[in-house]
Structure 1
Amino acid sequence: MNTQFELGEKYTISLDAEGYDNKIVEIRYNKIGTLSKSVFVSATKPTIEMSNLILNVKDEISLETIPSTIMAINISDPVNHSSSLIALNDNPPPTFPLEVGQSYEILVTKEGYFNKTVKIDNLSKNDILQEILLTPVEIGKSIIIDDLHFKTGLTELDDASYRLLDQLVDFMSQNSTLKIEIAGHTDSDGSEEFNQTLSEGRAQSAVNYIIEKGVDQNRLVAKGYGETQPLFENDTEENKANNRRVELKVIGK
């Protein structure tokens, strides 16, 4: 910027550039010649848009609101799953101001109910009322442990699955009298003998980890069903993936 100045005068200059904070600079022109001055400016902090997420947790059967439900809300990230918010579900339902455009994972827990995880992708600008239905714990009831995965053809859990078993450890602590069966299932690829052995090994791997975390081994049973209980025909890769699963079944209270 080239500007003519009068000798001895003080000048105030306002600097404004897109993407940077405005800057006010005062200078005094005391000698003849070219005046130069370095000015450092900071990039403008982006405006963060927020939206309200309203959560209402209900019993799946009665559809009545469940009081004092613990909710942990995590910003979804393939590596870091640390909780960002934890709150109780009361009346009125809690409202969470969350950043628009982010994806969130909500873990809801309550004694006497199975844990429930709800995912919200790319939170919109509009306020969202999210109803979450929890399933009561009953003997004989089973649920799929979503996103629990093993390395291909092995009984070793992949790294991202350990946090799901940690949640199961918390569930067992919260429901301290429950006895459960961890059941492994496979698709039909490979021999029946191989799949039976694989399902047993995977179920046992999950049980071993839970026991290592302090849960009494007498409350846990590992069982493999191989390819004998498919949810779908093993005719597509998607169906096969759904048949490869681990289930939790309540066998005692």
Structure 2
Amino acid sequence: MKKLLFILLSWPLLQSCMPLPSGGYGNSSDTNSGNGSQYPSQQTPAPSGSGRSADPNISVEDIRLSGQYTVLYVSFINNNSARRDQSGRVVDDGSQEIAFHPSARLVGANGAREFRFVKAEGIPVEPQRKKTYAGTRTNFVVYFERLDPGIESFDLFECNDYDHLTCWNVYGLYVKNPSSAQVPTQQVPNQSPNYPSQTPSIPAPTNQPNTPTKKPKSGKVGEVDTTPQQQSTEPSSVLVVGIVRDAKTNRPISATIDFTVSGSNKKIDSTQSFASTGIYRMNLKQGQVYTYVAHAKGYLAANDFIDLSKSVVNNKLTKDILLNPIQVGDKITLKNIYFEVSKSDLLPASFAELNKLVSMMDENQNLEIRLEGHTDIVGDPEANQELSEERVINCKEYLIKKGISANRIQAVGYGSTKPIIKKGTDEERKVNRRVEFVILKL
């Protein structure tokens, strides 16, 4: 009993002498989980919106915004186990190669905005690779272009079906990123893991309203006025002008251009270009990034973005738009259609591309199409056939929900039977995995 009492009274002292597990990120942080683990402390809650990973061994531990970058802090655990033969010899040590692909991008605003990969720390960029060992964790940092103000939910896309190595796709990421033009250059959770020394530098604030400014006061030159200067918070307006033209003939087109604030699904305004000149005009408030969709009868809809988050010379910006004509028999690839890896679930990042098709079909009421789904030649042919059919059916259902009659849409899956490239690397064969539509009637 006395021994038990002694142990209980001594336990806090014994705890204070025990080594604590170290957390955080480093440029090379493979560590054995049973010895010197660098797992983040379990008492540290996950940051807001850590997302849903395509690979269960991947987690986004934190997200930070700087003036220039969107920074993701990622962890990968090699959960493989070594395999031995009957004599006890190791036939597979459980090692796994990892790398990050430079074509990776962040997709926000339901696919209307993409942000390119910039650099990585702690993980090689393809074609270089890094070996990880069974039971180890690798922590690394990836930098992308900065999200537009207002885009708070986004996805990371790095791989497609049957791609090489580990797939770093993570869906439903979240970071606090207000739409106001007066936003901080960095958003940091209250609690987060320790970070590497390469955290992007944050510029010091430039507005210092309490700094004395030299200004004549009461007619006496040279006196310093210490009264804070009142600054208008109302953003100025920018005149956006341009010409809408036929991409083949260069002739002017009468088109409708719908504008949306990046990060919002709500259309804020529309304008029409003149049929005789193709000229359009639109006044937009400065301090925001805008996306738009231009559509006209007989043409493919086109979308792009206008960045007014920075100062514009003379409060005027020129943005010309080219539209591609369509005709019966044309086959068009839907370039930004995203599904769960090796599944048919349509992801929200596809909505902007499908909405362009909705706009085109609304503008051309007699238009009928055939959606065609294709997979790569890798994998089981029957499974590929089923996957392609389910994917185009989901695309068709999306169009129907947007008000397009089912009678105007056919859906066919071809699986791996019509590849564009039959040989080549995984990267070269990505073009095989596609959704297309064919103009049947116009």
Structure 2 residue identity aligned to 1:235: T
Cα distance, 1:235 vs. partner?
A: 1.9
User: Residue 246 in 1 paired to residue 435 in 2?
Assistant: yes
When residues 73 and 42 of structure 1 are mapped into structure 2, their CA distance, relative to the original with a 3 A threshold, is same
Question: 1:69-128 CA deviation, whole Å, 9 max, x = no partner?
Answer: 110122222xx2221221001247223343556433220011121111123456662443
What secondary structure does 1:66 align onto?
coil
2:187 aligns with none
1:230 aligns with 420
User: Residue 195 in 1 paired to residue 384 in 2?
Assistant: yes
User: Residue 218 in 1 paired to residue 404 in 2?
Assistant: no
| Contact 1:55–1:95 (Cα < 8 Å) also in 2 | yes
Percent identity over paired residues? 27
The separation in 2 between residues aligned to 1:176 and 1:206, in whole angstroms, is 19
Question: 1:2-54 CA deviation, whole Å, 9 max, x = no partner?
Answer: xxxxxxxxxxxxxxx9437xxxxxxxxxxxxxxxxxxxx99855463654322
The separation in 1 between residues aligned to 2:388 and 2:265, in whole angstroms, is 28
When residues 47 and 174 of structure 1 are mapped into structure 2, their CA distance, relative to the original with a 3 A threshold, is closer
The separation in 1 between residues aligned to 2:266 and 2:356, in whole angstroms, is 12
Does 131-140 or 115-124 show the bigger shift?
A: 115-124
2:394 aligns with 205
User: Residue 61 in 1 paired to residue 248 in 2?
Assistant: yes
| Contact 1:188–1:234 (Cα < 8 Å) also in 2 | no
| Contact 1:187–1:234 (Cα < 8 Å) also in 2 | no
Structure 2 residue identity aligned to 1:60: A
Question: 1:194-231 CA deviation, whole Å, 9 max, x = no partner?
Answer: 22221121111111232344433232111223332336
User: Residue 105 in 1 paired to residue 319 in 2?
Assistant: no
What secondary structure does 1:94 align onto?
strand
| Contact 2:373–2:436 (Cα < 8 Å) also in 1 | yes
The separation in 2 between residues aligned to 1:214 and 1:51, in whole angstroms, is 34
The separation in 2 between residues aligned to 1:240 and 1:50, in whole angstroms, is 46
Number of residue equivalences: 215
When residues 199 and 106 of structure 1 are mapped into structure 2, their CA distance, relative to the original with a 3 A threshold, is same
User: Residue 19 in 1 paired to residue 178 in 2?
Assistant: no
User: Residue 76 in 1 paired to residue 76 in 2?
Assistant: no
1:23 aligns with none
When residues 149 and 42 of structure 1 are mapped into structure 2, their CA distance, relative to the original with a 3 A threshold, is farther
Does 144-153 or 227-236 show the bigger shift?
A: 227-236
Which blocks of at least 5 consecutive residues in structure 2 are unaligned?
A: 1-206, 211-227
What secondary structure does 2:342 align onto?
coil
1:35 aligns with none
What secondary structure does 1:48 align onto?
coil
What secondary structure does 2:239 align onto?
strand
In the superposition, the TM-score normalised over structure 1's length comes to 0.70
Structure 2 residue identity aligned to 1:147: N
When residues 54 and 213 of structure 1 are mapped into structure 2, their CA distance, relative to the original with a 3 A threshold, is closer
1:116 aligns with 302
Does 102-111 or 119-128 show the bigger shift?
A: 119-128
| Contact 1:187–1:230 (Cα < 8 Å) also in 2 | no
1:89 aligns with 273
Which blocks of at least 5 consecutive residues in structure 1 are unaligned?
A: 1-16, 21-40
**1:142-161 matched pairs, under 5 angstroms:** 142-161=331-350
The separation in 2 between residues aligned to 1:233 and 1:104, in whole angstroms, is 41
Q: Compute the RMSD of aligned alpha carbons.
A: 3.3
Structure 1 residue identity aligned to 2:250: L
